[in-house]
Amino acid sequence: MILVTGATGNVGRHVVDLLLAEGVRPRALTRTPDLALLPDGAEVIGGDLERSESVAAALDGVSTIFLNLSALGQTTADFLTAARKQGVRRVVLLSSSSVQDGLGADEQPSMLAAWHRASEDLVVESGLEWTILRPGEFDANTLWTWGEQLRTTGTVRAAYGEAATAPIHEKDIAAVGVQGLLTDDHVGARYVLTGPESLTQYDKVRILAEAVGRPFRFEEVSPEVAREDYLTRGMPAQAVDSMQTHFDAAVDGILRYLARSVGRPAEVTSAVPDVTGRPARTFAEWAAEHAAAFRA
């Protein structure tokens, strides 16, 4: 049995779908099973991994886990101990490309990176087989950062328009994860996952405009104005909770990352095609799939 944690999240849903497509019936864990809207083929169970009784029920008969840290809060160590005791053999961890190799958790450049590095260390030291996924910016981030602005005004007001990233389609993250769940080929691997191209924020707004068929534009504002906008609108609760830190610190980390990304191409890795055997999906493909979400 494969357990998918964070099963209703941006990546977890695709993991569930892809496992079903491979003929594997996963156990999909969610705090809100009545609202999950997951495929009938999945075993959907309710539970909160920060509660011991939920952990025992979720792990019953499980051999392999897709582990989304947002489902665990501060209980990663206890969960991994329980998993090993209940016979789990392997874990595929959804981490972050913010983690820098060669640096311990206390030396990482941000709280987000420190938290993910500490979690990676726990997985490596757990005695389980492991694969670690380090995706960068998700394509879906544009929904919460820009969706409302584009629907209502057609304009993105943000800082660092020339900042370049290589956003990745969430289905590609899931596809790499599924290979780690189903085969022995990726045990002990850490994969930095990106999309297939480096794009500035101007590029992404242009691509969204083409997909939606509206004349969207990017308006550069100061980092101070952008920071206040982030704080006013708020990030998804999952993002804030997963970092276990103050919201303003998270916003500062985003802005520092964008500032460092101005004027230089983003790193593009070959991990997605190397593992899955198919090209990584482009941001334009994602935009076409989600165009309706950006229309008024």
Could you tell me the pTM of the whole model? 0.91
Q: φ and ψ at 203, to 5 degrees?
A: -60, -45
Kindly state the tokens that stand for 16.
């569930």
Q: Which of 61-75, 152-166, 279-293 has the lowest mean pLDDT?
A: 61-75
The residue among 259 and 189 whose pLDDT is bigger is: 189
Sign of CA dihedral 202, 257, 235, 196: positive
Helix orientation angle between 12-21 and 170-182, rounded to the nearest 10 degrees: 50
CA dihedral 210, 211, 214, 218 (to 10 degrees): -70
Q: How far apart are CA 199 and CA 187, in angstroms?
A: 31
The yes-or-no verdict on residue 172 having pLDDT over 90 is yes
End-to-end CA, the chain? 43
DSSP 89-135: -EEEEE--TT--TT--GGGSSSHHHHHHHHHHHHHHTTSSEEEEEEE
Q: How far apart are CA 14 and CA 173, in angstroms?
A: 9
Ordered by start, the domain boundaries in the chain are 2-135+170-193, 141-167+196-294
Share above pLDDT 70 across residues of the chain, in percent, rounded to a whole number: 93
DSSP the chain: -EEESSTTSTTHHHHHHHHHHTT---EEEES-GGG----TTSEEEE--TTSHHHHHHHHTT--EEEEEGGGTTT-HHHHHHHHHHTT--EEEEE--TT--TT--GGGSSSHHHHHHHHHHHHHHTTSSEEEEEEE-SBTTHHHHHHHHHHHHTSEEEES-TTBEE--B-HHHHHHHHHHHHH-STTTT-EEEE--SS-EEHHHHHHHHHHHHTS--EEEE--HHHHHHHHHHH---HHHHHHHTS-HHHHHHHHHHHHHHTBTSPPP--SHHHHHHSSPPPPHHHHHHHTGGGG--
The yes-or-no verdict on residue 103 having pLDDT over 80 is yes
Averaged confidence pLDDT in the chain? 90
pLDDT digits 0-9 by tens, 13-25 = 999 999 999 999 9
CATH class entry, domain 141-167+196-294: alpha beta
Q: How many CB atoms lie within 10 A of CB 226?
A: 19
pLDDT digits 0-9 by tens, 240-287 = 333 334 445 566 677 888 888 898 999 999 999 999 999 999 999 999
pLDDT digits 0-9 by tens, 127-136 = 999 999 999 9
Kindly state the tokens that stand for 39.
């495929």
CATH superfamily placement of domain 2-135+170-193: NAD(P)-binding Rossmann-like Domain (3.40.50.720)
Same fold for the pair 2-135+170-193 and 141-167+196-294: yes
The reported pLDDT for the residue numbered 236 is: 44
The reported pLDDT for the residue numbered 241 is: 38
The reported pLDDT for the residue numbered 234 is: 62
pLDDT digits 0-9 by tens, 63-93 = 999 999 888 767 789 899 999 999 999 999 9
For the segment 108-122, the average pLDDT, to the nearest whole number, is: 88
CA separation (Å) from 273 to 72, 100, 167?
30, 23, 15
CA separation (Å) from 82 to 54, 58, 104, 229?
11, 11, 25, 42
